[in-house]
Structure 1
């Protein structure tokens, strides 16, 4: 897991115009992997790691996506947030809705479906609390 964070950190620090050690498609795959690993962590009853991972992805969207992050990486992060949404559906929904509102490209139907699913999860969570 430590190596995955190293890849992401290196990628974030490199200029978009320079020859890069990590291509965007590799970084997109890392985000998808993080989402999947987070789901596995939840199944293995490791909720704290799951929550930390979800929070990190949400912060990435909030802080980085406005800085010209390539579309394929954005979509991978969005999918990872969807994968990790059960740890904090309200935060995931807020992050995704903000991303959708600020997106400069048409949002794919699959992402809209993810947002709808998280919205449903939020309602379900609220009704269980009431």
Structure 2
């Protein structure tokens, strides 16, 4: 019988969980950040909208750069935050498994309770 969760050692689970969490939160954060940046750009430049075709071209080109930059910034922020919580979860769960010398649902429940409590305080 394997004494690892999901039949994976802690390092493999850490890499797997962190990479999947980072990709998902980076994607979601980029979508949210891009939309907010687009609206912010419109609000900041609503008083001087372009009048020519060339002006509209450069307006949208600049707006796209702002959207990409805002999406990347927000996506990275979301990815780092989510990865921190996932790594904390795995670390605490591993420590409880090691201290109690058994792998069961009790350690998972204790870890979940502790981290959700901390998450509600920090966010």
TM (normalized to structure 1)? 0.24
- Could you say which structure has the greater relative contact order, defined with CA pairs below 8 angstroms and 6 or more residues apart? 2
Say which structure is richer in helix: 2
